[in-house]
Structure 1
Amino acid sequence: MVENRPLLTFISHLVLILGVVIVALPIWITFVAATHDAVRMTQAPIPLLPGAHFWQNFKDTLFGSGLSSSAGAPVWRMLLNSLVMALLIASGKIVISLLSAFAIVYFKFPFRMGFFWMIFITLMLPVEVRILPTFEVVANLGMLNSYWGLSVPLIASATATFMFRQVFLTIPDEMLESARIDGAGPMRFFWDILIPLSRTNIAALFVILFIFGWNQYLWPLLITTDSDMTTIVMSIKEMLEVAEQSPQWHIVMMTALLAMIPPVFVVIGMQKLFVQGLTETDK
C-alpha cells in the first residue's frame, strides 16, 4: 500500500518541473534566437519570445552556406554528411558486435575467452588515444574526405559486443537444440531466432550509437579537408568563430536547432523499443 503524502508529492513534482525548466531553457533560447533577425540578436537584453523571421532564417540557413562570411558547404549538405556518418557508425557497430558476440557465445574455438577479453580491453583505447596511427592507416588507404573514412575507424564497439554477449547468454540452450533438430544452420539460427529476440536491445543500442556518431567532432575535424565533407557539429564550431567577427547569431542558432532534429526524431521514433531494451531482463 502506498501512503498518500501530499507534501512529498508536491516536492517531487517541483523538483521534476525545475529539472525540465533547466534542461529546456537553453533549447527555448536557441529556438527564439532562430526566429529573430541579425539586428535584434545584437541588442540587449536577448529576446525571450519568438520573432517573425523563423521561415526566412530557416531558408537562408538550410539552403545557404550558413554565415555569409564563411566558405563552408550548404547546411543541408552538412546535415547529410552527419546523417550518413551517424547511420554508418550505428549500423556498423551493431552488425559487427552481433556477429562477434554470436561467435564468442555459440562457437567453440581455441582462446575464445582470450579474444573476448582482448576486445573488451579496447575500451581503454578510444579514438583519441590511437588517433595518429588510425589517421595514418586511413590516409594510406585513400579514405580521407570520404564517408568510409568518417565511419569505418569508429565502428568497432567492445561495449556493444559485451551487451549482445550477455543477451545471447540468457537465451536457453533448448532453442539451439531445437534449431539443430529442425535442420537450421548457424546463420539460420542467428537470423531467425537471435535477431528477433535481440530486437529491443538493437533498438536501444542504435539510439545510443546514432547520437554518438552524430556528435563526433575531433575525428571528422582531423580527416576532412574538403568543405563538402564538413559535418554539422564542425560547422557550428566554425560559425561560432566567424560570428566573433560578424555576429549573425540567428543563423548560428538556426543551425544548432537543425542539428537537434535528427537525434530527436530517432529518440522519439524508437522510444518504446529503447526503454524496453534498457529495462527488460527476460526473453
Structure 2
Amino acid sequence: MIERRPILDFLSHVVLVLGVLIVFFPLYVAFVASTQSAEQSALSPLSLAPGGEFMNNYSTVLFKGAAGQVTAPPVLHMLWVSLATALIIAIGKISISMLSAFAIVYFRFPGRGLFFWMIFVTLMLPVEVRITPTYQVVSDLGMLNSYAGLSVPLIASATATFLFRQFFLTVPDELAEAARIDGAGPLRFLKDVLWPLSRTNVIALFVIMFIYGWNQYLWPLIIATDTSMYPIGIGIKTLISGGDSAVEWNLVMATMILAMLPPGLVVVVMQKWFVKGLVDSEK
C-alpha cells in the first residue's frame, strides 16, 4: 500500500503549476501582442492587457497578408501549404516505413539484415547533410516550388522503419501461420492482422511526423523561391526580415499564434492514442 503524504502532494502540484505558468506565459504575451496595434506592441515594456485589434489583426494576416515595408502572402495560404506538406510527409513516412519493415521481418531474402542496417545508417545523414545533392536532384526533376519538392525528399524515415520492425518482431509467429493456413497472402496479412495491431503505433508516429513536417524550415527555404509556396515557418521569417523598424509585431504574433494551432490541435485530439502508442506494451 502506498502511503499518501499531503505535503509531497502539495509540493508536486506547486511544481506542476509553476511549470504550466512558465510554459503558458510566453504564449499569453504573444496572444496579447497579437490583439494590440503596431504602436502598442512595439512599446517596452509591453502591456499585458489585451488590446482591441484582435479581429483586425487576425483578418489582416489570414486573408490579406502583411504589407508596407515587409510584404508576406496571406497566412491562410501558408497554413494550407504547411498542412499539405506535413500530411504528405507523415502519411508517406508511415506508408513506406511500414512496407519496408514488413518486408524485412516477414520475407526471407539474401542480405535483408544488410538492407536494414543500410536504412538505419541513414539516420546519420539528415537532409541538412545531403542538402546540396538532394537539391540538385529535385531541381533536375523540375520539382522546385511544388508540393512534391517540399515533401518527397523528406518522406524516407529510418526511425519509423526501425520502430515498425521492432513492433513486428513482437507479433507472435502463430498469427502469420494461421493467416497462411487460411489462405491469406502477404498483403492480406498486413491489412487484416498487422494494421489493426499497429494502429496506436501508427497514430503516435503520425503525430511525431506531422509536427516534424509542419516545423520544416531549412529545406522549404531552399526549395520555395515563389511566395505562393511559402510554408508558415518561412512566412514568419519573412515578417521579421525587415529590421526592427519595419516589423509589425502585432501581425507577427498573430501569425505565430495561428501557426501553433494546427499542430496543437493534432496533439490534443490524438493525445490519448499518442500516449498509448508510446507506452502500451500489450499486443
The aligned residue for residue 228 of structure 1 is: 228
Question: Are 2:248 and 1:269 aligned?
Answer: no
Give 1:238 shift.
Answer: 1.5
Q: Which string of whole-angstrom CA distances, capped at 9 and with x for unpartnered residues, describes residues 191-240 of structure 1?
A: 11111111000000000000000000000001111110011001111111
Give 1:182 shift.
Answer: 1.1
Q: Counterparts of 2:241 and 2:94 in 1: how far apart (Å)?
A: 36
Q: Counterparts of 2:213 and 2:10 in 1: how far apart (Å)?
A: 39
8 Å Cα contact 1:66/1:255 also seen in 2: no
Q: Counterparts of 1:240 and 1:189 in 2: how far apart (Å)?
A: 52
Letter in 1 for 2:206: F
Query: RMSD over aligned Cα, in angstroms?
Result: 1.1
Give 1:158 shift.
Answer: 0.3
Choose 111-120 or 245-254, whichever is displaced more: 245-254
Choose 57-66 or 206-215, whichever is displaced more: 57-66
Q: Counterparts of 2:69 and 2:5 in 1: how far apart (Å)?
A: 59
Q: Which string of whole-angstrom CA distances, capped at 9 and with x for unpartnered residues, describes residues 22-67 of structure 1?
A: 1111111111111111121122320212222111111011001224
Letter in 2 for 1:273: W
Give 1:6 shift.
Answer: 1.9
Q: Which string of whole-angstrom CA distances, capped at 9 and with x for unpartnered residues, describes residues 168-198 of structure 1?
A: 1111111111111111110000011111111
The aligned residue for residue 36 of structure 1 is: 36
Choose 144-153 or 2-11, whichever is displaced more: 2-11
Give 1:74 shift.
Answer: 1.4
Instruction: Give 4+ residue runs of structure 1 displaced > 3 Å after superposition.
Output: none
8 Å Cα contact 2:36/2:53 also seen in 1: yes
Q: Which string of whole-angstrom CA distances, capped at 9 and with x for unpartnered residues, describes residues 151-175 of structure 1?
A: 0000000000000011111111111
Letter in 2 for 1:255: T
Q: Identical aligned pairs, as a percentage?
A: 59
The aligned residue for residue 174 of structure 2 is: 174
The aligned residue for residue 165 of structure 1 is: 165
Q: Counterparts of 2:27 and 2:170 in 1: how far apart (Å)?
A: 41
Give 1:71 shift.
Answer: 3.1
The aligned residue for residue 78 of structure 1 is: 78
Taking structure 1 as the reference length, what is the TM-score of the superposition?
A: 0.97
The aligned residue for residue 279 of structure 1 is: 279
- Gapped regions of structure 1 (runs ≥ 5): none
The aligned residue for residue 245 of structure 2 is: 245
Q: Which string of whole-angstrom CA distances, capped at 9 and with x for unpartnered residues, describes residues 231-260 of structure 1?
A: 100111111122523231110000000000
The aligned residue for residue 140 of structure 2 is: 140
User: How many residue pairs get matched?
Assistant: 283
Q: Counterparts of 1:88 and 1:70 in 2: how far apart (Å)?
A: 30
Question: Are 2:111 and 1:104 aligned?
Answer: no
Q: Counterparts of 2:245 and 2:223 in 1: how far apart (Å)?
A: 27
Q: Secondary structure at the match of 2:245?
A: coil
- Gapped regions of structure 2 (runs ≥ 5): none
8 Å Cα contact 1:200/1:273 also seen in 2: yes
8 Å Cα contact 2:70/2:247 also seen in 1: no
